[in-house]
Structure 1
Amino acid sequence: MNFFKAFHCEISSIVEKLSAAGKLPDGMDPSRLTCEPPRDASHGDVATNAAMVLCKQAKMKPRDLAELLAVEIAKIDHVTSVDVAGPGFINIRLAQEFWHAKLCDVLAAGTDWGNSDIGNGQTVNVEYVSANPTGPMHVGHGRGAVVGDALALLLAKAGYKVTKEYYINDAGAQVDVLARSAYLRYREAFGETIEIPEGLYPGDYLVPVGEKLKETFGDKWLNAEESDYLDEIKAFSINAMMDLIREDLAVLGVTHDVFSSEKELVENGGVDKAIAYLEERGLIYTGVLEPPKGKKPEDWEPRPQLLFKASEFGDDVDRPLKKSDGSGTYFASDIAYHFDKFQRGSDQLIDVMGADHGGYVKRMKAAVKAMSEGKAELDIKLAQMVNLMDNGEPVKMSKRAGTFITLREVINKVTKDVVRFIMLTRKNDAQLDFDFAKVTEQSKDNPVFYVQYAHARCHSVFRKADEEFADLDRTETALAKADLSLLNDESELTLMRLMAEWPRLIEAAAESHEPHRITYYLYDLASEFHSLWNKGTGDVSLRFLHADNLELTKARLALLKAVSLVIASGLLVLGVEPREELR
């Protein structure tokens, strides 16, 4: 489907042919040359740096090599002209019938247009959200959830075998705080007036947990010591919070394949197993770390610690695996968790984390490299903050959550499709302004509306066509047989070129792990479509339906159908439902 790859193959074959003819040296390696859209569309349809990349191997000046290659490239089917520019760039123009053929390809593939096999079934584990199970999800979690979910959908479209995973951090001090907070709500359920001390969770979301504790245990824990109730109430509260989180995710359209528990991992000896594995390979030693950079903490003192040789694998310093009390560090648990994911068969690991985990990137990459002996790759995507506003003013915190705006509140206000699309209008590591007024206005400045409006406009024409041409067969197969040579206006050709680029865009976005590229592409496609629509308001010859010209009508409907399919294909990658009507 990616015709730029086809041109790469054609030019590689030309290099081999010229080598065989003695015009170029033997053994030329064309793998590094690129074929891509020119930066300036006026320069052509395909640009290649072949001469610039191969000139040293060819022992020729780049421009001389470009001229030699251009003669052969001009012989490729559908090539109408080849120009050599600057020091040796080659710009290629393609005939209109090439784009008409690509339009037929879109119609034949439907929303599968853009599907790729570059993943070749490689197993990828995408871990995302992984919010502490201490309360409802907030809007920051929502951004990580959308980035991770869209990335998983994108990788699946590109031919990877994807596992979507959630890691439950249920073994840290924060779940003890949760249990103590829930216990107070339990007492409150019996009519006791409580005060939430600083350091506990004040949100009203724990009120029903306290009531459920009363319903389940009666007064069993009312006068009990903390040591008696803590573990049981902790487990109960974690389950309640995970139910709440799953509900929030479901409303956002997010489902995971696997939920992994840190507590179970530790209890099943996962941490000890990972440490033993590193120890066997000589990657652990007892040593003393340097004091923290900057102002030394007053309570800091040099002491022997069990350390992982992280610096041998790209980290800045070696990292401790045991605390002073002998228990494992958070880092040790995370090493064990990633070791577990690798052993389950994932050779590519992706973690989507909050921006506050920036200092964790190097050490985790070092750990994965060490544990997998370089066989697994880890990519960590940091999701930056979301600034919630309404008409430019910051939105006040949620009373229910106690400290933040819940994701559910945002979804209820603007719908999950708006949340998902807007969360991907910036790269994950850039801060995002989410203004309720702007994301719901019906204008070109609201990208989710602008893209959905293009899709809905296509379907409005289809409905009108059904009224005016009762016997017209609008199936993709029938429309592909229309006389597409009638589509020769530059606006129509621009749309076809852009739709033909969709497979390349999918592959590039998947390889770079950047799902936000999809929203950019969809906005550009919608913009070109709306431009053609607007031209038709002034030039009747460019309108989509012509009562006196059925062949032109069918050709235009074929173009519209393709546009709607590609937009739908992109929205589905984002996890957004394509809309046929906007109300």
Structure 2
Amino acid sequence: MDIFKELKLNIKEIISRLAKKQHITINNELFNNLVIKLSPKQQHGEIYTNATLILAKILSYPINEIGQLLINELIHMHYIEKATMSSPGFINIIIKKSIWAQTLDHIISKKIQFGNAHINKNTILKCTTTFSTYPPYISLRGVVFMNALASILIECGYKTTKQYYITYTKTYILALIHAVKYYISLLVINQPITKNTHNIFLIKIGQQIIDDSGGDVSPLSEIDLFLYIKHYILNNIHNNVLEQLYSLNIHCPIKLCEIAEPYTKSHSGDIPNLDNILKYVNKKHHHIPDTITITCKNNTNCLHTLYVSNQIVSNNTENNIHIPPDDMILIFLSQKYNMPLYINFNQIFDKSRNNVIFYIKYTYNLVCYILHHTKNSTPHSHINLSKLDICYSHYSKEEICLIHLLSLWPQLLEEVSISYDVHRIVLYLQKLSIYFYNIQYKDNNKNLPFIYNNDINLTVTKLALIRALKVIIESGLSIIGINVVATI
């Protein structure tokens, strides 16, 4: 049972029914501001809602009377144990304990489908990035964000199409073409060339053109050679970009687009100084954000433009630090897309709770480890938790909070599909990890937590929570583009 979805539907029905009694027609936009969330401290209830304030907009009754009307309706719901009102008009709700146990069953049975919706809308996501370095380095943050957002929209029922546009300046391509021509002229006479980071790929392209021409490029006219080199450069850029995307397990169509720009000649005569040209282009296009446009085909007015910041702030003093692709995805998505990306390289490889990446991976691996070692020792793991009258009493306060948090997953997906705040997924996974760490740390059975050989019901109850946690973490990681492979 998806508690939050069920409660939202029921509250909408109650408000509509109460309005109908007063012969009032309700606009669906009224429900856009309806809030149903977990209570932060849970002093008065587990869930709170502002339904009273929503209903007060259409009924001319005192706020207390409106609240009581709603409470009288809510307490008849089979899953609600208690409902009370607190100022300034919020209703606090306590869910029956057996329902929370059913939620765990629902998560485990639905697995990765828990949270799926059926919104029949077609969307197109277009990500545009500009690069100006060679070998081509694209802004991976933008395309990683687009890929994760597309997965979230698909999970929420949207039919989504991804398109990736890479733009380059005319100045940049002309500089590369002239540089390749220069290196070809040196290669054909076997003159030694000093290689560096910039020219090694250009020399490779020049050599490839010579080889494909049978060792002689003289039959080619200036225009043919110019177009020939341009084709090789763009093809090389395309392949490099594909390689970078595949390393992140991102698959989407790529289109290269040229941006017209005045060509600035260098001071070195006919042969452009590549370093100077690149400095010029880099300066002109420094920190240009990636542009992501989101279009809803079913509604032409539904067009959103997001700007993903390419600015990276780091405390790195070393070069060539290798970060695994999955870790890079978590880094890119752990911060809000329109803010400069801060990378603490000193913390990336830190194995502590201060490192979000390590913390999430550690939690998932530990969960898999526990379930792996109990696979054959808990033959009654299929027991329906809702039929265990005492199961909920087995959970500690921290474990109950974790159950509440797990049940939020579908609502979080829906909210992110509207706000596009993909970083909330990573923060949510981090919060799950913190809760689990605190629970595991307090468990008395340190060798293999949550296993009680002398109490099968207690073990099954605890492991149900672990299995549900595994499902949600797998869903969260896979939806942002990470292949979940646990090292057990």
Q: Same fold (TM over 0.5)?
A: yes
Question: Residue 31 of structure 1 aligns with which residue?
Answer: 31
Mapping 1:162-177, distance limit 5 Å: 162-169=160-167, 172-177=170-175
* Separation of aligned partners in 2, 1:222 and 1:508: 62
SS of corresponding position for 1:169: strand
SS of corresponding position for 2:392: helix
- Please tell me the residue identity of whatever aligns with 1:356: I
Greater Cα offset, 103-112 or 177-186? 177-186
CA RMSD of aligned residues (A): 3.5
* Separation of aligned partners in 1, 2:395 and 2:109: 21
SS of corresponding position for 1:84: strand
Does the 8 Å contact 1:167/1:262 carry over to 2? Answer: yes
Deviation track 1:371-412 (CA, whole Å, cap 9, x = no partner) reads x998153322222235364xx33445xxxxxxxxxxxx66xx
Does the 8 Å contact 1:128/1:148 carry over to 2? Answer: yes
Residue 408 of structure 2 is aligned to residue 501 of structure 1: yes
Does the 8 Å contact 2:33/2:54 carry over to 1? Answer: yes
Normalised by the size of structure 2, how large is the TM-score?
A: 0.83
Residue 191 of structure 2 is aligned to residue 259 of structure 1: no
SS of corresponding position for 2:71: helix
Does the 8 Å contact 2:309/2:339 carry over to 1? Answer: yes
* Separation of aligned partners in 1, 2:95 and 2:384: 23
Question: Residue 179 of structure 1 aligns with which residue?
Answer: 177
| 1:63 CA displacement | 2.9
* Separation of aligned partners in 2, 1:548 and 1:144: 53
| 1:2 CA displacement | 4.8
- Please tell me the residue identity of whatever aligns with 1:536: D
1:451 pairs, out of 352, 355, 360, with 360
Question: Residue 125 of structure 2 aligns with which residue?
Answer: 126
Does the 8 Å contact 1:355/1:429 carry over to 2? Answer: no
- Please tell me the residue identity of whatever aligns with 2:173: V
Structure 1 residue ranges without an equivalent (≥5): 267-352, 397-408
* Separation of aligned partners in 2, 1:108 and 1:144: 35
Change (3 A) 1:231 1:124: same
Deviation track 1:143-175 (CA, whole Å, cap 9, x = no partner) reads 112111111111111111122212243684432
* Separation of aligned partners in 1, 2:202 and 2:364: 43
Deviation track 1:183-227 (CA, whole Å, cap 9, x = no partner) reads 23333433335689xxxx934332322221221124544697743
Does the 8 Å contact 2:36/2:50 carry over to 1? Answer: no
| 1:420 CA displacement | 0.6
Does the 8 Å contact 2:130/2:288 carry over to 1? Answer: no
Question: Residue 399 of structure 1 aligns with which residue?
Answer: none
- Please tell me the residue identity of whatever aligns with 2:123: V
- Please tell me the residue identity of whatever aligns with 2:198: P
Residue 316 of structure 2 is aligned to residue 393 of structure 1: yes
Question: Residue 414 of structure 1 aligns with which residue?
Answer: 323
Change (3 A) 1:126 1:188: farther
| 1:515 CA displacement | 1.6
SS of corresponding position for 2:374: helix
* Separation of aligned partners in 1, 2:133 and 2:323: 25
| 1:253 CA displacement | 1.5
Mapping 1:498-537, distance limit 5 Å: 498-537=405-444
Deviation track 1:339-390 (CA, whole Å, cap 9, x = no partner) reads xxxxxxxxxxxxxx995259x89xx99xx99xx998153322222235364x
| 1:433 CA displacement | 1.9
* Separation of aligned partners in 2, 1:62 and 1:445: 45
Question: Residue 356 of structure 1 aligns with which residue?
Answer: 288
Structure 2 residue ranges without an equivalent (≥5): 261-284
The share of aligned pairs that are identical, in percent, is: 22
Deviation track 1:392-441 (CA, whole Å, cap 9, x = no partner) reads 33445xxxxxxxxxxxx66xx12111001111110111111223331122
Deviation track 1:539-565 (CA, whole Å, cap 9, x = no partner) reads 99x941011011211111111111011
Residue 56 of structure 2 is aligned to residue 55 of structure 1: yes
The aligned length equals 458
Question: Residue 298 of structure 1 aligns with which residue?
Answer: none
Residue 141 of structure 2 is aligned to residue 143 of structure 1: yes
Deviation track 1:475-525 (CA, whole Å, cap 9, x = no partner) reads xx5576773435432222111111110000011111222221110110111
Does the 8 Å contact 1:25/1:58 carry over to 2? Answer: no
| 1:77 CA displacement | 1.7
- Please tell me the residue identity of whatever aligns with 1:436: F
- Please tell me the residue identity of whatever aligns with 1:493: I
Mapping 1:128-527, distance limit 5 Å: 128=127, 130-132=129-131, 135-138=134-137, 141-169=139-167, 172-190=170-188, 191-192=190-191, 202-221=198-217, 226-256=222-252, 258-262=253-257, 356-357=288-289, 375-387=300-312, 389=314, 392-396=315-319, 413-466=322-375, 469=377, 472=379, 474=381, 477=382, 483=388, 484-527=391-434
* Separation of aligned partners in 2, 1:16 and 1:388: 51
* Separation of aligned partners in 2, 1:536 and 1:90: 35
- Please tell me the residue identity of whatever aligns with 1:383: V
Deviation track 1:437-465 (CA, whole Å, cap 9, x = no partner) reads 31122110111110111111111112332
Does the 8 Å contact 1:134/1:241 carry over to 2? Answer: no
- Please tell me the residue identity of whatever aligns with 2:250: V
Greater Cα offset, 108-117 or 204-213? 204-213
Change (3 A) 1:373 1:493: closer
* Separation of aligned partners in 1, 2:356 and 2:134: 31
* Separation of aligned partners in 2, 1:354 and 1:128: 18
